Amino acid sequence: MKMTRFDFIIVGSGAGGLSAALHASRYGTVAVVTKRGALDSNSNWAQGGIACVTSDEDSIEQHVQDTLIAGAGLCNEAAVRTIVTEGPERIDELVNWGVHFDQKEAKDGHLEFDLTREGGHSQRRVLHAADATGREISEKLLAAVRAEPNITLLENHFAIDLITTSKLGYVSEDRVLGLYVLRESDDTVVTLRSDRVILATGGSGRVYLYTTNPRVATGDGVAMAWRAGASVANMEFIQFHPTCLYHPERRSFLITEAMRGEGARLVDKEGNEFMHKYDPRGSLAPRDVVARAIDHEIKRTGGPCVYLDISHKPADFVTAHFPTIYKNLLEVDIDITKDPIPVVPAAHYQCGGVQTDINGATRIRGLCAVGEVGCTGLHGANRLASNSLLECVVLSHRAVNHLLRKLPMGREEALPIEVPPWQTGDAEDNDELVVIYHNWDEIRRLMWDYVSIVRTTKRLQRAAARLRNLKREVQEFYWNFRITSELLELRNLVETASLIVECAIRRHESRGLHYTLDYPEKDDTRPPEDQVVRRY
């Protein structure tokens, strides 16, 4: 099987992956590997916006402090300051690539960004394109990528595993050599060779039964990096978005936090607001607070959901600011200009991930991770709303620059290493897909029941025990049968779920997004750096 060489390989086609590809293409050849279509990403589903200081009424320091407060004492302050400070330059770059953010006329008559506000922010600083910001960014970046001759876009190519020197038996410095990829058009495994690999695979929301994430979010990058020997950090901090539509026909439809930023109120079935009972910031409290409050209200009342109500705002204001939500909900007979929206929390964002420095660099030389798959310390124990897209565009730029410094173009180190082709061995075709689907469903249900918004040690231990058994079953399938995308996703899903549970078991406190009834208070006796769970 042919091996193809590139100067850079980027796995993932969200905002982080596409912007990294555009940066890297200035210096060499780039392969963008994505397991589905190029627009099948968490970034494309993002509604709210991208947080960045662009107003004279705002400041870098205010954005930094808001981020640190939301992160509940576990943010890496140096990483926060770097990402927030470099944000405005990256916004200018997005605009130059054709991204259009909503604007309004200022008092002096010139146009300025029409900023909105979300939970945890002290100022209006969220740039947006109506309520489909992620789609606007993704489409414009993809158009730029398709126009760049140095970039090869490999859609429907599923990255199986990273190739590293240690995996090939070399005991010198561990470094990345490329990856094996399943080409789904003919079920062939191809070898992609590069000394510079960037993971931008997004998160792992599909580990849970209820999530706002697209079908592709199965923790692939975290699982691949872990198997390759990278460290992980803070995987227990899974952010549950407070407001996912509760309706059988739109099970994964997110209701953006920007709606609460524009005055929407969380109410019970009688129309009474309840958030003031849990936090003085009311409906604009950080997401961990709001999600736990909704969870408590649902359990207290026995109802299936709570409601988000923006019907007190003028109808033209609502439809202008939230056209996508308005249109989608009309299809299920909910008119948001008149009716409250039934909502429940759902798994939304992975705050931890592959441990990196501020350049996205991992402990494996030549391997970087950017965006949701990585953990720079920006988010700490709870992500501040709309900081995720900001991290994507800042880290993608830094990661490319880092790889160019460490492995300059034209001066790749000569390694007497032969990368072997993929070996199928005696694997057979699998005629028991029902087992894969059953295991997939079981993982997602046990994670929702035992490892969601409110946890206990006993529930976590039960989840860990069952996941160990499931991992053995999945490994048996992996070695005995020919690989398929379904099997690869299941393999990554069970690995990522196990990491979330193991990290949660090790945290004997409640902090940010990790809340356990057995340790309901924060433990500040250890410094924050000692509370990060590294490779074990």
Strand pairing report for 3-5 and 151-154: unpaired
Q: Which residue has the tokens 């789904």?
A: 184
So what's the pLDDT on residue 353?
A: 96
Active site residues: 287
So what's the pLDDT on residue 536?
A: 44
What is the chain's percent helix, strand, coil content, to nearest 5? 40, 20, 45
Q: What is the largest CA-CA distance in the chain?
A: 73
**Token output for 101:** 């953010």
**Inter-CA distances, 88 with 52, 71, 82, 125, 247, Å:** 6, 22, 11, 11, 38
DSSP result, 211-224: BSS-TT-S-HHHHH
Taken in order of first residue, the domains within the chain and their CATH numbers are 3-207+219-231+349-406 (3.50.50.60), 238-347 (3.90.700.10), 433-531 (1.20.58.100)
pLDDT digits (tens, 9 = 90+) for 37-86: 888 887 877 777 999 999 999 999 999 999 999 999 999 999 999 999 99
Return all residues near 210 (Cβ < 8 A) that are at least 6 apart.
Answer: 244, 251, 252, 344, 345, 346, 347, 448
Strand pairing report for 265-267 and 306-309: antiparallel
Contact 38, 129 (CB under 8 A): no
Q: In 3D, which of 436, 421, 420 has the Cα closest to residue 483? A: 436
Contact 229, 235 (CB under 8 A): no
Cα angle, residue 85 at apex, residues 83 and 91 outer, rounded to 5°: 80
Contact 216, 35 (CB under 8 A): yes
DSSP result, 388-434: HHHHHHHHHHHHHHHHHHHS-TT-------PPPPP--TT-B----HH
Whole-angstrom Cα distance, residue 395 to residue 358?
Answer: 7
Whole-angstrom Cα distance, residue 83 to residue 52?
Answer: 10
So what's the pLDDT on residue 256?
A: 87
So what's the pLDDT on residue 413?
A: 56
So what's the pLDDT on residue 42?
A: 78
Contact 12, 221 (CB under 8 A): yes
Contact 458, 517 (CB under 8 A): no
pLDDT digits (tens, 9 = 90+) for 324-359: 999 999 999 999 999 999 999 999 999 999 999 999
DSSP result, 473-530: HHHHHHHHB---HHHHHHHHHHHHHHHHHHHHHH--S-BTTB-BTTS-S---SS-GGG
So what's the pLDDT on residue 418?
A: 81
Whole-angstrom Cα distance, residue 28 to residue 309?
Answer: 51
Q: pTM of the predicted model, to two decimals?
A: 0.91
Number of neighbouring beta carbons within 10 Å of residue 109: 6
Burial class of 84 by CB neighbour count within 10 A (0 to 12, 13 to 18, 19+): buried
pLDDT < 70: residue spans in the chain = 1, 411-416, 425-432, 526-536
DSSP H or E run through 157:
strand 157-164
What DSSP state is assigned to residue 141? H
**Inter-CA distances, 444 with 221, 350, 436, 467, 486, Å:** 18, 15, 13, 11, 15
Measured on CA atoms in the order 396, 133, 39, 386, is the torsion positive or negative?
positive
Contact 109, 25 (CB under 8 A): no
Q: Which residues pair with 232 in a beta bridge?
A: 354
Whole-angstrom Cα distance, residue 193 to residue 263?
Answer: 51
Whole-angstrom Cα distance, residue 196 to residue 149?
Answer: 19
Number of neighbouring beta carbons within 10 Å of residue 95: 14
Contact 443, 497 (CB under 8 A): yes
DSSP result, 347-400: EEEE--EEE--TT-B-SSBTEEE-GGGEE-SSSTTSPPTTHHHHHHHHHHHHHH
Return all residues near 103 (Cβ < 8 A) that are at least 6 apart.
Answer: 111, 112, 113, 114
Number of neighbouring beta carbons within 10 Å of residue 55: 13
